[in-house]
Structure 1
């Protein structure tokens, strides 16, 4: 496996969740957990020399619509949300078992929400995320593993969720010819917020289906789903998003992924309408 193919597939990133700026008109939740992943996100190596990856994600989301409790689109607050995620990852394979791969991550969100209609703006550094991932390769063309991350509520007051979180999920990847499938499935546990609210457990899965059309081009589609049950009078919340994009394999140690994503069905949830970018640099 080349150095670039390893670097393009760093594990996971943080969900774009900003409770303090949620679309409360319909009790809406924010973007689906881990929907920032790209194709080959979990095509991870084993028995390799340590290396480092930097990833920058960026998302522009228009909040013109939300899904109400009956699944209908209704007017949102009209704001525009811009989120960046800066991720540093250290990869290594332990000497005691070279068939296993490990990674440690630190992720820092940069958040801005602007509402021109009301003249309001909020922004700053969000709650950072840190944690580990571990995986192995049952076959030369497949990967299976687990990841678990802690969100620490020390972000800027205007964009912090104010509570501790744990994001744990299984991860997988399969390659066959020019095709590649990568995905995850897991949960988000949240502690009590400063306002006394303890959010319900969230379940999610994210999958990407890519086809290496050319040395430099890999078009893909994405399917994202999450569900949170009803609690304390609040209705259940769920969403199913579909998106499409392309990866530009520009250099041996760099790549750029571009994607558009939208919600096709859901209840009491944000209506996704976002453009997404992912930039990877390996050294």
Structure 2
């Protein structure tokens, strides 16, 4: 799965497709609905999300577009029971640009830097909001102990400069570690990390200290074609997140029912179009497309996940 630059005969690394599902971090748009905020960090992960190769020269880039839709008609209450949800439909588009490079003295190590810009819309009979959300900036480093094995660390900062209706008004830090490996035709992709949040400051409202989040994202896929030339990879996913409660700094009291957790499962398929392979025999660039459906298994104080996630990536 080495990438080739259209103008260079050199081997390129396997790509990083690390789109962020920021529904949870962005759903403080409506203060009255904070206790029912929905979303799973990194929900758009799929097989090979965190697979990289250090077998390349020079630099290269990628651009990804992610589309997420969730039907918020059901929710989990403080006891984990399903109840009527906010009745909204939430749409998130994530646009990400990534630049990749190496250091010659570190032959099995690679780096990238990225910026992700979200566009959000929540629409319902009682409430609606839309706009450009808070961007994430940062990067990652990876290491290949073996050609098909990737280990790494990443860190991003979410900057609260989005439009007022959809901004979190909160600085946050997103660190995580990742692992990807092949076992025959089976790809295992794992991410574990957190979201560390600062104080939420909104003009005319109480100062809040939202709880931090821990998340785990697992994808297991099976390559129908040989793993060194994958085209279609059906996969299953398991996601988990737990977030601490919010503390009202102005009133010096905790916000009731603000701690949340959720476990979701998903099914999807990843399609990959690489150079010198059908159906694009003469294609010089590298492209990917994935689609998956996710649904909640259990949760507490959160809208139930019931949505579709699509992502498309181009590398050059």
Same fold (TM over 0.5): yes
Structure 2 unaligned spans of 5+: 5-11, 247-253, 276-285
User: 1: CA distance between counterparts of 2:313 and 2:43?
Assistant: 16
- Which secondary structure does the structure 2 equivalent of 1:31 belong to? coil
- Which secondary structure does the structure 1 equivalent of 2:214 belong to? strand
1:116-265 aligned within 5 A: 117-118=125-126, 120-194=127-201, 195-214=206-225, 215-231=230-246, 232-235=254-257, 236-252=259-275, 253-265=286-298
Aligned to 1:44: 52
The alignment's TM-score, normalised by the length of structure 2, stands at: 0.84
Aligned to 1:61: 70
- Which secondary structure does the structure 2 equivalent of 1:3 belong to? coil
User: 2: CA distance between counterparts of 1:281 and 1:156?
Assistant: 28
Aligned to 2:249: none
Which moved further from structure 2: 3-12 or 248-257? 3-12
Kindly tell me: are residues 149 and 26 of structure 1, through their superposed partners in 2, closer, same or farther at Cα, counting changes over 3 Å?
Answer: closer
- Which secondary structure does the structure 2 equivalent of 1:20 belong to? coil
User: 2: CA distance between counterparts of 1:53 and 1:26?
Assistant: 34
Larger radius of gyration: 2
- Deviation string for 1:133-179 (max 9, x for gaps)? 00101222211110000000000110000010000000110111111
Which moved further from structure 2: 143-152 or 192-201? 192-201
Equivalenced residues, count: 281
The alignment's TM-score, normalised by the length of structure 1, stands at: 0.93
Aligned to 1:93: 102
Kindly tell me: are residues 12 and 137 of structure 1, through their superposed partners in 2, closer, same or farther at Cα, counting changes over 3 Å?
Answer: farther
Aligned CA RMSD, in angstroms, stands at 1.9
Structure 1 unaligned spans of 5+: none
